[in-house]
Chains A and B, each alone.
Chain A
Amino acid sequence: MRALGPALAERLEPVLGTVERHAAECDEKAAFPTQGLTAMRSSGLLGLLVPARYGGLGGTVPDLLAVSQLIARQDMSAAMVFAMHGQQVAALVHHASEELRERVLPRVARGDLYLGSVTTEAGKGGHLLSSGTATRREGDLIELDRMAPIVTGGAHADAYLITALAPGATSEGQVSLVYAERDQLDVQVLGGWDPMGMRGTHSVPMRFTGAVPHDQVVGAPGDFRRVTVDVFAPLAHLGWSACWLGTAAGALSRTLRLLRSPEERRRRDLKSELLLTRLSRARQRIDTVQAMLSHTADVYGTLSERERGGAPWQLLVNALKVTASEQCPAAVEELVELVGLRHGYLRNQPLALERALRDLRSASLNYGNDRLHLANGSLSLLDQETTLV
């Protein structure tokens, strides 16, 4: 992972402090990291990916990944909130009309707009490119009534990017991405959130009803696929992987600090071959993900939009997601075995391995690995040359 420049590191510092102070409590109560979000707002980091001409920090995708990873060392939920907001911002930057960008991006840069993501739908699960929600065009407005089973930070977001069928769609694949602000719609939270991990994401079921101006469609009507291929899917997989990597790296770092403390050194044999081998394996898994993540991010930055639609790139970025979602929890698993019951299994211990493991358990489910393996199997068949990017 490329190191963060000093200016960004300085902005990030108070965010990290705040997130760290509240991580255990947010997990305990399954509460959104409100203070963390406030710190992200005032740090300017919500506008990390907003180009300077709209008042943003003009950051890059590697910057987004580095910041997400560092936040995830303290709290994976808060990191996910940040990474997914970044994905929404990138979609606006690259695919919203200039008029919409001028209206929205300066407010994102000021920290006034935290963006939620609404793609999952009951019935289709995680399948991004289809929708069962019809919309209607009424003059200049698009009317929608969208149920959303799981919206990270949904109760706290100021605006949303929502997928739904384009008005008049004749097939389930004609999906539009619609930008909607909280006060433009009737926004209801339909239930609570009490999961195994990722408790701080406060990912609640919601319903969005009302109408938004037609010019708030991001990308061409019915062509969410293009936004997905170009920005949404790559940034989801890159961003999530950065969060998982950060959580695993944070867990290893805390474990090493414990092992090296004078008290622990007296109690343990740091020359134990089992201990050394376990540390090595955990580190190896983390470095594997780190290598794959930074390579994939580099490749993403060099590809044209057309190449992002090709099999070799999609195979790589899907494989990154699957690999990171397997190796990061496996690394923490290794650490739990190493430190044992007290530091590894009890709740609210300084190492927080138990929380890291619960949080990381979501990784394979967050856009199901099974789904990605099927996609990658088909994509492999389309690439008989086996072109490696």
Chain B
Amino acid sequence: MDQAFTDTLRPHLRYLAPGQELRPEDRLRDLGLNSMQAIDLVFDLEDNCGVTLPDDQLTDANFETAGSLWEAVQHARSAVVDAR
């Protein structure tokens, strides 16, 4: 998980203490992400990380942990590269 990604996630996780490291296995909902905020996070990922998650990737499973979301982001990036 790169810095831009964890920096983007952090403001959406109100139970992640300042200075506490975000680990791939951390469950995003346990850290305070709810479904109403998911769309804001998607917008921030677009703005800060330059990646657009397609609709079919906006699943509960991909928003389960920091690691699963990171994988979805990586996947979306490589899909864009492949398409070029």
Contacts and interface: CB of A to CB of B under 8 A. Distances in A.
Contacts of B61: 306, 309
A95 to B, nearest CB: 15
A173 B32 contact: yes
B62 to A, nearest CB: 10
Contacts of B78: none
Interface of A is mostly: loop
A174 B32 CA distance: 9
B30 A309 contact: no
A374 B36 CA distance: 8
Interface stretch (A74-82, A189-197, A356-364, A376-384): A376-384
Contacts of A310: 58-60
Interface string B51-84: 0000100111100000000000000000000000
A225 B29 contact: yes
Contact of A170 (B15, B35, B38, B60): B15
Nearest to B33: A173
A382 B39 contact: yes
A366 B30 CA distance: 27
A378 B34 CA distance: 11
Given A311-B55, A311-B58, A173 B39 contact: no
A20 B39 CA distance: 48
A129 interface: yes
B31 interface: yes
B30 A222 contact: yes
Contact of B29 (A173, A306, A382, A384): A173
B9 interface: no
Contact of B34 (A173, A222, A382, A387): A173
B60 A229 contact: yes
Interface residues of B, number: 16
Contacts of A35: none
B34 A129 contact: yes
Interface residues of A, number: 22
B36 A306 contact: no
A229 B38 CA distance: 16
Contact of B58 (A171, A374, A375, A382): A382
B42 interface: yes
B42 A170 contact: no
Given A311-B55, A378-B36, A387-B55, A171 B60 contact: no
Nearest to B52: A384
A385 interface: yes
A35 to B, nearest CB: 42
Nearest to A171: B15
Given A171-B15, A173-B30, A374-B36, A306 B58 contact: no
Nearest to A380: B39
Nearest to B53: A382
A81 to B, nearest CB: 30
Nearest to B38: A382
Contact of B60 (A222, A306, A378, A385): A306
Contacts of B42: 382
Nearest to B62: A309
A129 B29 CA distance: 10
A198 B61 CA distance: 38
Contacts of B38: 378, 382
Contacts of A383: 55, 58
Contact of A375 (B29, B32, B35): B35
Given A309-B60, A382-B55, 16 more contacts: A129-B34, A170-B30, A171-B30, A171-B32, A173-B34, A174-B30, A229-B60, A306-B60, A311-B55, A311-B58, A378-B39, A382-B42, A382-B58, A383-B58, A384-B55, A387-B55
The 6 closest A-B pairs by CB, nearest first: A309-B60, A171-B15, A381-B39, A382-B58, A385-B55, A378-B39
Interface of A: 129, 170-171, 173-174, 222, 225, 229, 306, 309-311, 374-375, 378-379, 381-385, 387
Interface of B: 15, 29-32, 34-36, 38-39, 42, 55, 58-61
